[in-house]
Structure 1
Amino acid sequence: MANSLALVLVWISILFSPSLATTGDDRFRRDGSVIELTSSDFDAAISSFDFLLVDFYAPWCGHCKRLAPELDVAAPVLAGLNKPIFIAKVDADKYSKIASKYEIDGFPTLKFFIHGVPIEYTGPRKAEVLVQYLRKFVAPDVSHLESDTAIQNFVDSAGKNFPIFIGFGLDESLMAVFASKYKKKAWFAVAKDFSEDMMVVYDFDKVPALVLINPKYGERSVFYGPFEGDFLDDFIKQSLLPLTVPINPDTLKLLKEGDRKIVLAIVQDETHENSAQLIRILRSAANANRDLIFSFVGVQQWEEFADRFDATKSVHLPKILVWDGNEEYELVVGSEKLKEEDRGSQISRFLEGYRQGNTIKKKLKGPSLIGFINSLISLKSIYLVVFIVAILMFVQQFGGQSGANQPVRGEHLD
């Protein structure tokens, strides 16, 4: 009886051991390296880790090979968080039952398991940005900042890749609504105890105030309300993008998520000083016209994109227009081109003409650009094409060989 009681006590001590609670299944390394999983330990892994990012890859996949070193860099950083995130990989080509179970139809596919529940990871894949993105999953929706030091530490640790919203004197429950809605796109915090020094640093003179910091683009702004209805939501949604958006494949995906029309300035070269001056003017216009998105692109930087708006190296530039983000754009009569002098007045007249409806509508050349970018050929389609080509080559080769072995009419076979 005594032995039985002792055995029970031993099992209880094992089950509730703090070391076991923190280390989980001993089969898996927790040193920050990427863990290779197989069909025999996959289920155990997703049960063992609270937060596990799994890379479903195929050895022959070029994109997978480019992603692997990014994951190797991110893994030790994520494993060192207060709430650690671990990274694992599984050869989904070899372990096809796992791939089928989690509906993997392309490589690489990333799934983030939160307490065993998978969600598709569609965020950035460069190591630094991937770390910042995933950190938001394990961070509280709204951080509480109780001092000037806490505010500065929060801003520093948030990094430079996502906007930061700090509510000074704002009600936490109000912030929580939007923090949950935009959790994947920005950092949120409320500051209760702060000095006048912080008001000077972040350039606000009364509370409540919502301060936006967009470190990636070096922008800041302050919202004083009203904080009811759609006003706060509109400010946050509009502030997720910089005042002037450089057009590239990544930002196009962000533009698609909004419902605002886009003022687009097409220049010869984004890096030229004349273009920089124009962008500064656009930024001022954007600050006063938040219902529109202001953007720019250089023909030298992305000629294929500019050509869809009939803008090439041989066309007089800059050219300015309003794009619906899909298949149509509008030219304002008399304001299609920007002259060298007094561009501020020209942009004001352009906006006035647009709001008065003095425009000419045009269609983009070729297919819808955003639709084109977001309808990339799926891996299944690639498989199908490769399969068909292989069959045709086989048939052609087999048919050629068969034809070569047929006797010519009238010949004799030995």
Structure 2
Amino acid sequence: MRAATLLSVLGAVAAASASDVADLTASTFADTANQPLALIEFFAPWCGHCKALAPHYEEAATILKKDNIPIAKVDCTVETDLCSSQGVNGYPTLKVFRKGVPTDYAGTRKTDGIVSYMKKQALPAVSEVTASNHDEFKTADKVVLVAYADESDKSTQQTFRDFADIYRDEYLFGLSTDAAAIAAAGVTPPAVVMYKTFDEGRNDLEGSIDDESLLAFAKEHSVPLLDEISPDNFAMYAEAGLPLAYIFVPATDSKREEIVKAIEPVAREHKGKINFVWIDANKFADHAKSLNLQEPTWPAFAIQNIQEMTKFPLDQSKTVDHATVSAFVNDFAAGKISPSIKSQKVPAVQDEPVFVLVADEFDKVVAEDKDLFVEFYAPWCGHCKKLKPTWDSLGERYANVKDKLTVAKFDATENDVPASAGFRISGFPTIKFKAAGSSEWVSYEGDRSLDSFVEFLEANATNDINEPDNLEAELDGETEVKSGRHDEL
């Protein structure tokens, strides 16, 4: 009896500890990601937000199990290469996968929200359109994509359905094989029509329809010719993959409509190659400053290449009118304008404990055959102020090996990180390391103590930064004998 009771208790414990969330590794990831639909969390065990999500994620996995929707997670402290390949740069990151293709999860992080979102994702992405609902459906959203195909054309129908599965969160999709609806649309199938509430109101794609033509068509025509930009629609422009041209003008300016209208022909000329927007200069003056428009003088104009992290401000002494903007944009498109790089002056003397790095010297310093350890900071940042004495001590510790290692600081509020660096700064302090002879920057994620910085450098520096540099230090016994590089921190 006791044995039976013990087995029963153990079975209950095992059942209670069993998880419906699959733990994925590099070798098992593809099996789940390639399912028709799956939700995968990329997390770190120490992450507070991940811990808060965990019970809701577990409950949702159990509920969704009966719907055959896999819920899984990846420990990014273990599967670092996998998480890097998926573009994970924060925790937790949730992605919805459909046959290997990821999209960002856009639901809440509570049990009910996760379940509701994933069940909706499991529904068909394409609605059936007939003559009876055609007029209503094509005006049901700001952007509606309707495919018209012959009943026998299964290839076009499947291509459109597959595309809709991937972009279901961005557009409303409909499919019609109804001859009366096709006649009402005035198209010859196969065709796709984009119905929209702005600009020309309609765009047509006819002929051979495949994934590439659908994506190019959707991206080109779903973005308004010249609309107001705000936090609500910024992501749409950022994901479009095109340079973004801003007209900075106060929303209250009596001439705002006139100014914007004058630039519309320039936007139309470059449609599909550069997106144009206007932005409230009073509300988003800091964004103007981030594009190196330094004076609060409006209107102003600038182009930002989000993908390449470059910015091209129009000289603020010039008038923002059709002729000036047209000439500037044409020169930009022709590659005749160099990106603007904000930089402090190069220090005449480097007399601080750490090297003062500025944008104008960034590429030069990076190219030197030295290990490079850089703190990107903001003068107003409390954490940066707290770190300063430790960072100075680190510079002093390696003062005798400056020919092998540069410990530097970079004021990211007064200097732009050049596009050549390949990264952007989104928080302070950000600490980056680049080994001598390498082009790869490594983010420092350890604690901010002197001992941890030293241990990190000893493990990652290419140059021998621990070699005794003077006889006096060696005789005083201040030089420690090191055991060599560490495999891990």
TM band (smaller chain): 0.5 to 0.7
- Is the 2:247–2:277 contact (alpha carbons within 8 Å) kept by the matching residues of 1? yes
Residues 129 and 175, structure 2, Cα contact 8 Å, conserved in 1: yes
Q: Match of 2:271, SS? A: coil
State the 1:238 CA deviation: 0.7
Paired position in structure 2 for 1:309: 291
In the alignment of these two chains, the number of paired residues is 328
User: What SS class does the counterpart of residue 265 from structure 1 fall into?
Assistant: strand
Give the aligned CA root-mean-square deviation in angstroms. 5.9
Correspondences of 1:1-400 after superposition (within 5 Å):
37=21, 51-57=37-43, 61-64=47-50, 84=67, 86=69, 88=71, 92=75, 107-112=91-96, 119=100, 121-127=102-108, 138=122, 143-149=127-133, 152=136, 163-168=143-148, 173-174=155-156, 176-177=158-159, 180=162, 183-185=165-167, 186-193=171-178, 210-213=192-195, 221-225=201-205, 227=207, 234-244=216-226, 247=229, 255=237, 258=240, 260-267=242-249, 269-270=250-251, 275=256, 278-279=259-260, 286=267, 289-291=270-272, 292-312=274-294, 314-325=295-306, 326=308, 327-329=310-312, 331=314, 336-338=318-320, 346-347=321-322, 350-351=325-326, 354-355=329-330, 361-364=337-340, 365=342, 366-367=416-417, 372-373=423-424, 384-386=445-447, 388=449, 391=452
- What are the ranges of 5 or more consecutive residues in structure 2 without an aligned counterpart? 1-14, 343-415, 434-441, 456-489
Amino acid at match of 1:347: H
CA contact (8 A) 2:148 2:176 kept: yes
2:461 alignment counterpart: none
Letter of the 1:384 counterpart: E
TM superposition score normalised by structure 2: 0.46
Tell me the equivalent position of 1:407: none
Answer whether contact 2:145 2:174 (CA < 8 A) is retained: yes
Rounded to whole Å, the distance in 2 between the matches of 1:279 and 1:72 is: 51
Distance 1:136 1:227 in 2: 32
Q: Which of 1 and 2 has higher RCO (CA within 8 Å, sep 6+)?
A: 1
Deviation sequence 1:368-392 (CA, Å, 0-9, x none): 5896559887999777332655747
**What whole-Å deviation, never above 9, does each CA across 1:290-342 have from its counterpart, x for those lacking one?**
23311233344444431143324x432111244444325274999x433xxxx
Give the whole-Å Cα distance in 2 for the aligned partners of 1:133 and 1:282.
Answer: 41
1:153-194 deviations in Å (ceiling 9; x for gaps): 6975xx77xx43113468764465466457533444332327
3-state SS, counterpart of residue 306 of structure 1: helix
Per the alignment, residue 400 of structure 2 pairs with none
Partner amino acid for 1:329? F
Check 1:222–1:58 CA distance in 2 against 1; reply closer, same or farther (3 A cut): same
- Cα distance in 2 for partners of 1:384, 1:301 equals 35
| Residue type of the alignment partner of 2:246 | L
Q: Distance in 1 between matches of 2:145 and 2:252?
A: 30
Q: For the residues of structure 2 that align with 1:190 and 1:387, how far apart are their CA atoms?
A: 57
SS in 2 for 1:223: strand
* Matched-pair contact (CA < 8 Å) for 1:244–1:294: yes
Q: 1:347 to 1:219 in 2, by over 3 A?
A: same
In the alignment, structure 1 segments of 5+ residues that lack a partner are 1-26, 29-34, 339-345, 395-414
Change (3 A) 1:350 1:301: same
C-alpha change, 1:301 and 1:227, in structure 2 (3 Å) is: farther
The verdict on how the C-alpha distance between 1:374 and 1:253 changes in structure 2, with shifts beyond 3 A counting, is farther
Change (3 A) 1:71 1:361: farther
CA offset digits 1:227-275 (Å, max 9, x no partner): 45987664323124333365567866655555644332122x4576754
Displacement of 1:223 in angstroms is: 2.3
Residues 372 and 299 of structure 1: is their aligned pair in 2 closer, same or farther, counting only changes over 3 Å?
Answer: farther
**Cα pair distance change 1:150/1:231, threshold 3 Å:** closer
Displacement of 1:61 in angstroms is: 2.6
Asked whether the equivalents of residues 148 and 195 of structure 1 are also in contact (C-alpha less than 8 Å), the reply is: no
For residue 278 of structure 1, report the CA deviation from its aligned partner.
4.8
The 3 A distance-change label for structure 1 pair 55 and 142 is: same
Alpha-carbon distance in structure 1 between the residues aligned to 2:120 and 2:158:
14
Q: Distance in 2 between matches of 1:226 and 1:88?
A: 39
Q: CA deviation at 1:53?
A: 1.7
Contact 1:51 1:112 in 2 (8 A): yes
How far off its partner does 1:222 sit? Answer: 1.8
Deviation string, structure 1 residues 28-81 (Cα, Å, up to 9, x no partner): 9xxxxxx87487xxx9xx79x9744243545753444786799799x69x969x
CA contact (8 A) 2:331 2:337 kept: no
Give SS of 2:297's match. Answer: coil
Q: For the residues of structure 2 that align with 1:246 and 1:131, how far apart are their CA atoms?
A: 34
Distance in 2 (CA, whole Å) between partners of 1:349 and 1:393 is 54
Q: Which amino acid aligns with 1:146?
A: T
